[in-house]
Amino acid sequence: MIFKNSIIKLKNKKNSLKISNMKKTKAKMFSEIYQYKHFNVLQVTFWDTKETIAKNYESLLKILEENNSKPQDEQQNYGLTKESLTQSYKIITDETERENYLSFLKYYYFLSEPISLQQLKKNYYNKIFPFYLFTIKIKERPQICDLTIDFISKKVTIKYKDKLHYLINGDDIITVNKKFGMEIILMVKNEQKDKKPNEKNKQKNEFKEIEFEPEISQQIDIIYTLISYLAKNIEDNNFYSILQNDVYRPCGIILRSKILKEHRTKILGKDDRYAVLGPSMVIIYKNEEMTDVRNVLPIFPFLMRVIFVEKEKKITFKYPNREQSLSFYDSENFIMWQTALKEIFLQRITSKMDTVESLEANAINEKEKIIKEIGVEIECAQEEINAIKNRLDRFTKKIQENEGK
């Protein structure tokens, strides 16, 4: 028995070492690509113009050159070199490099999304992230879709794999409503600026309605709050509650592994996919560069189940309306994912934000709120009924008086 326990301890230690090494490897890989927080290095925001960026670059370069010209004992340590400053400037000003860097940042924010409205601003800088990704169900379509909110480019995108369903731009007029239950209604109008209305663009000027519900009910308030904030500030560009630059990066990627995708039809065979695990969700990508999102699996312990099948090296995520399996090529990756997911679930279950009591309390509060609103509606209806009764009594009295005469 002692020998067996020591074997188990050794096995657990080995698994934790594997996860630790995996994290170090990933951290090293990404630090080689984007070692610095480039917007923060140049002291600019995500929305600053090229002129502002160039001005900041020149002034910072001047400070560094003046500092380097001083004797070594008089030099200040800015934690920055001329090479790193120039690298940041090139990445931010080159359109392709900038887009790649922003795509890289998305993974960190996506994978560390808040799981409740209370957590929305609960990070080091008390700010809303610039990127969000949710799974939703559009009323008129059968499949689960991805909803992306991008505060930098001021866009809301609804996609299913590589098929674009809706793209709401900064030029659109957006109104958002939250219905009883889980549904959200987006009303979008494309504003045709500096164009005369005619038959061709007449239809584009009309409001289109998008009705959807989040896959996880707890996310409805988060999505509603974020889109409402975007709609309110889209014209003024007043995004002070959003992280202004990349000064804060959440923990992001915990594990990343190549997995096996088995097609339903045997003729198509099998394909490789890439699964990335973060504190809040698993994202499955079609390509190794992590640009083509194929599936999003949010981690909510009380609203889903995770099944581990060691013999098949398979992990299955079960939701109320769907399930998704991750098939690993080797036992090593399977064990690392199993250990990491159990740790995440344990942290979620023991955290104050995610206890069963808090979920029950939220449900009771929501129920009381609905009952109260229904009660107000009943009172209003009762008042109308009483008013109609009074009118009927008056008419009846007049009729009786006329008959008496």
In a domain, 282, yes or no: yes
Q: What's the pLDDT score for residue 362?
A: 52
Q: Do 350 and 280 sit in the same domain of this protein?
A: yes
Give the CA-trace dihedral at 36, 250, 323, 310, to 10 degrees. 80
Quote the tokens at residue 236. Answer: 């003024």
Give the Cβ contact number of residue 13 at 10 Å: 10
CA separation, residue 171 to residues 66, 193, 200 (Å):
44, 9, 19
Report pLDDT for 289.
74
Residue 223, pLDDT score: 93
* Residues 132, 88 share a domain: no
Query: Do both 136 and 72 map to the same domain?
Result: no
Structure token pair of residue 383: 């008042």
Distances (CA, A) of 374 to 57, 370, 382, 384: 59, 6, 12, 15
How many domains is the chain built from? 3
Residue 321 has a pLDDT of: 82
Domain that holds residue 78: 14-93
Confirm whether 8 is domain-assigned: no
Q: Mark whether 278 and 190 lie in a shared domain.
A: no
pTM as predicted: 0.73
- pLDDT, block means (10 residues), the chain with 405 residues: 38 43 40 70 92 93 83 74 88 92 88 85 86 90 88 91 84 82 82 48 64 88 92 82 90 85 62 89 85 86 88 91 89 91 83 47 56 69 80 79 71
Separation of alpha carbons 304 and 318, rounded Å: 6
The values of phi and psi at residue 280, to 5°, are -115, -20
Report the run of H or E that residue 23 belongs to, with start and end.
helix 2-33
Residues 262 and 342 placed together within one structural domain of the fold: yes
Shared domain check, 38 and 74: yes
Residues 52 and 137 in one domain: no
- Local structure of residue 267 (DSSP, 8 states): G
The two structure tokens encoding residue 330: 């080797």
Task: Say if residues 158 and 146 touch (Cβ distance below 8 Å).
Answer: yes
The span from the CA of 190 to the CA of 167, in Å, is 11
Q: Are residues 260 and 221 in the same domain?
A: no
The answer on 135 and 82 residing in a single domain is no
Cβ pair 284, 355 in contact under 8 A: no
The pairing of strands 208-214 and 184-190 is antiparallel
Mapped onto helix, strand or coil, the DSSP state of residue 75 is coil
Please indicate, yes or no, whether residues 160 and 261 belong to a single structural domain of this protein.
Answer: no
CA distance 137 to 217: 11
Cα 131 from Cα 113, distance rounded (Å): 9
Please tell me whether residues 121 and 88 are part of one structural domain.
Answer: no
CATH number of the domain enclosing 339: 2.30.29.30
The pLDDT score that the predictor gives to residue 201 is 46
Burial class (CB in 10 A: 0-12, 13-18, 19+), 38: buried
C-alpha 299/C-alpha 296 separation (Å) is 10
